Amino acid sequence: MRQNLKSVRRCVIKVGSALLTDNGRGLNEAGISSWVAQIAALRESGVEVVLVSSGAVAAGMVALGMDARPRALHLLQAAAAVGQMGLVQLYESHFKAHGLHTAQVLLTHDDLANRTRYLNSRSTLLSLLDLGVVPIVNENDTVVTDEIRFGDNDTLGALVANLLEADLLLVLTDQDGLFEQDPRLFPDAKLISESSAFNPALDKMAGESRSGLGRGGMATKLSASRLAARSGAHTVLANGCLEGVISRVMSGENLGTLLLAGQPPVAARKRWLAGHLQMRGELVLDSDAVRVLRKSGKSLLAVGVLRVTGSYVRGEMVRCVDEAGQEVACGLINYSAEETRLISGESSGNIEAKLGYIAESELIHRDNLALL
């Protein structure tokens, strides 16, 4: 499978905060110079690259003399505003040395949750790639709030891979990959070279971030790989400190952990639906409804709903789970939470009698439903 990476034509590369700031000592210019040179070589070979860069908050912390990551939102945003300036200037100067233009693209969750802005973001990024520009994507930390935060740039990288139908998500970290145990606690821990992204055994092996600079650990990287896999993108987790790591991974060398998508890309709208992070409510489905969704790909009817939680309005995103709490699907619902509670368990023919009107016979139409 590693040799297939040679045929990658579009790649999203995510670089973590610990790498970019040399573990908090300041912007790692030597590392940035090396990664940029390798990306330039990929561009020269015809591979389109989008760079998802962490480091704005961490760089700002260093510049402002902060010893620990602030908890107050306004201080985080101030650090991001300061750090983003130096980070982008450094990228621009190094890419310019290779004759490449760069573009800064700052996103929030709302940009990808809103269908119109999602398509606008996609069009902009594709246009930049067509023009030979290297987009540098980051979360818009200076304005984002907890309610619209991606949570970490691993997730952002996966969503950008979804957005652009990339072949590969390459996550550069300060670790050699995913191990069976935490290598910082167990020096003889075994590296996982290759696995399905959806292998449930991996969940016990992934841990949280210990650096204090970023928000992601191996658990978030595993989650991101599964998100990327929904659009058919494989993920490689590799040590960004290794010399020539990007070029070596793309040439098929056995570095890091390769997490395979194991499924073909889904339709664009389904990919957008599945990429939603913020669910406004949850529907518990009976076994018949779960079977119909999974086997037949039909719409969700009210008769199959057992319980409703959350507060939402018509058109918002809700999660569908089975009676054991396992995710089944997510979709845009045709009725508010209050209305859904009133018609749960009812046949479509009884909706008008319960509500006094009928908007749609389906609770969630199959075109607005994505299996998870």
Number of CB atoms found within 10 A of residue 98's CB: 14
CB 226 within 8 A of CB 219: no
φ, ψ dihedrals at 112, nearest 5°:
-105, -15
Through-space distance between the first and last CA atoms of the chain, rounded to whole angstroms: 25
Cα 171 to Cα 161: distance, rounded to the nearest angstrom: 12
pLDDT of 182 reads 79
Strand partners for 94 = none
Residues in the chain: 372
Q: Chain centroid to CA 170: how far?
A: 12
Of the spans 109-123, 149-163, 206-220, 325-339, which averages the highest pLDDT? 325-339
45-75 pLDDT, tens digit each: 999 999 999 888 878 888 888 888 888 888 8
Cα 158 to Cα 331: distance, rounded to the nearest angstrom: 20
Cα 154 to Cα 84: distance, rounded to the nearest angstrom: 18
Closest by CA to 362, choosing from 279, 281, 305, is: 305
Q: What residue ranges define each of the domains in the chain, with the CATH number in brackets?
A: 2-270 (3.40.1160.10), 279-371 (2.30.130.10)
Q: What is the mean pLDDT of the chain?
A: 88
Confidence of residue 17 (pLDDT cuts 50, 70, 90): confident
CB 22 within 8 A of CB 31: yes
Quote the radius of gyration of the chain (alpha carbons, Å): 22
Name residue, tokens 């700002």.
60
Closest by CA to 30, choosing from 41, 39, 19, is: 19
Strand residue runs (E) in 152-204: 168-173, 194-196
204-242 pLDDT, tens digit each: 887 554 444 444 478 889 999 999 998 889 999 999 999
137-141 mean pLDDT:
81
